[in-house]
Chain A
Amino acid sequence: MSLGEFLADRLPTVVLTLLAAAFGFALLVTLGEGTYAGGYLAGAILLAQALAFALEYWQRRRFYGEVERGMARLDKKYLISELLPEPGFAEGRIFAELTREADKSMCDAVAASERASKEYREYIETWVHEIKTPISAARLMLENDPGESAKPLSRELTRIENYVEQALYYSRSGGVERDYRIRETTLRALVASALKKNAELLIEAGASIRTEGLDRTVYTDAKWIDFMLGQVLMNSVKYRRGPLEISVVGAAAGGAVSLTVADNGIGVPAGDLPHIFEKGFTGENGRRGAKSTGLGLYLCKKLCDKMGLAVSLASAPDAGTRVTFAFPTDESRRMET
């Protein structure tokens, strides 16, 4: 608030004060008290008003200045009422009171929305767990009474399982809670588990798998990695071209262990690469044929970010795709276990 703005707001007072000073001066001169007495009265009126303005200006500037500085420091601006200084004037008190009320209502609304989203996430978790029992029963039925359509049905069940798992990790990726658990494991164990889980679809796609350098220790949540590797492997199956070849290679470089899954598929056009980890991005390949949800890689990135892993993708059309996960191996990770 500049002085000009302050005075502009008080234009009527300024005009009336000037009028009062002029009237006092004219009155005393008319009554024959002389210009000296008139000037004295007018000056007194003006000085008094100027002092009153100065005091008021100083008070408000101090108060609003502090509010603004507090605001700048705050991450969640709506919490400003917690930082409000005690205002020494009535308007300020009204302002502070209203702000506090508005903030309280905002906090309530935010809490309600967080609760609702947490409840929804919990519901998704429960739902995912519930649906697994009938899926298991259906799998057993196919095993016990294999009929004509056992194979296609089993494939559809696998697809259902994949979508269900995606829903679970989508809901987990949104939460602020730390719901993963870092433990010591090896690249070999992680890769073997993911390959086994997706064996049916990989074998049907005629995949030939090459592994290398997987005897390395990493600290991570095996279940999360299992899901992410599954997403990457499913992409390789979806976007294959000719006989599918997948190589899974572990390497150590600069204090980190990396795991690269490379395929010989159709690859990603250069224009799509910058958006490849974006939510809902299906790109050229997704539009052209294979069903794409634009969620798999997005979730990989999000879960990696949450767990402190790096993930990157390199690809060119007709030259296959390489997805690399980098695991930190430093002592801090070990401490977390």
Chain B
Amino acid sequence: MDKIFVIEDDVGLRGELLKLLASYGYACESSNDFQNIVPAALAAQADLVLLDVSLPYYDGFQVCRELRKSSAVPVIVVTSRSSEMDELLSMNLGADDFVAKPFNPQILLARIAAVLKRARPAAHEDEPLRYRELAVDVWRSTARGPAGETELTKNELRILTVLLGKRGRIVSRDELMNALWQSDEFVDDNTLTVNINRLRRKLESIGAADYLATKRGQGYRI
């Protein structure tokens, strides 16, 4: 389980961030002692640091510089100052990515996953996503079921991972489309229908026919 250290002084936002990250399977830690935030972050031995820019005592840029002096931990800067200048400054100070407030939670999660993936040694293989007898290998873009294995297109993979990420919950068509848009696939309603139908046929072909349920007028569920 990856551990994320959250440096954010706004109590409300921090609470919700910790909740979000925990529900997506990350271990989280944070601290309220902003005078000693750098030692606290280092002591946590996190896999990633989420760093706000406007903080008491030291600003995020200073914290980033201090962290870099003794650690190569990936840092994502989260800031409400969304000018090109701030972005440049964070990157020059060794931050790995930059997310502007107010962020879309799904985008933040995608960035975190991407930075963690980049930072991880190549030898460390990722666990496939599993559900009942279905196993989805995200990096190879394949799905394995009781009756065999099939390759997935980029869109099919994205749809499947979103549904698996929210297993048991109904995911609306709009939500699925939004997820596709966020990975640069600006599909429309018809394309989504085509993709879903193809995905359903592929799941049938590997013996996972009843996994993808359609809820009329509401969306889909796994």
**A positions within 8 Å CB-CB of B:** 128-130, 132-137, 139-141, 143-144, 151, 157, 161, 179-181, 183, 192, 195-196, 199-200, 202-204, 206-209, 211, 221-223
| Chain B residue with Cβ nearest A134 | B12
| Chain A residue with Cβ nearest B10 | A133
Are B80 and A133 in contact, with the CB atoms below 8 A? yes
- Shortest CB-to-CB span from A328 to chain B, Å, is 18
Question: How distant is the Cα of A34 from the Cα of B188 in the complex, in angstroms?
Answer: 117
Partner of A144, one of B20, B88, B178: B20
Instruction: List residues of B (12-34) whose CB comes within 8 Å of A's CBs.
Output: 12-13, 16-17, 19-20, 23
Q: How large is the interface on B (under 10, 10 to 19, 20 to 34, 35 or more residues)?
A: 20 to 34
Given contacts A140-B105, A192-B184, contact A199 B178 (CB under 8 A): yes
What is the interface of chain A mostly: helix, strand, loop, or mixed? Answer: helix
Stretch at the interface among B41-49, B65-73, B96-104, B156-164: B96-104
- Shortest CB-to-CB span from B192 to chain A, Å, is 10
Partner of A208, one of B19, B103, B172, B189: B189
Question: How distant is the Cα of A140 from the Cα of B105 in the complex, in angstroms?
Answer: 6
Question: How distant is the Cα of A211 from the Cα of B19 in the complex, in angstroms?
Answer: 38
Partner of A140, one of B17, B84, B178: B17
Given contacts A221-B84, A223-B82, contact A143 B20 (CB under 8 A): yes
Partner of A137, one of B13, B54, B186: B13
Q: Which of the listed residues A128, A200, A203 has the most CB atoms from chain B within 10 Å of its own CB?
A: A203
Partner of A195, one of B20, B84, B181: B181
Given contacts A139-B103, A143-B20, contact A179 B83 (CB under 8 A): yes
Q: Sample 7 A-B pairs with CB under 8 A, ordered by A number.
A: A130-B80, A132-B102, A181-B84, A196-B184, A199-B182, A203-B174, A203-B177
Are B83 and A223 in contact, with the CB atoms below 8 A? yes
**Inter-chain contacts of A141 with B (CB < 8 A):** 16
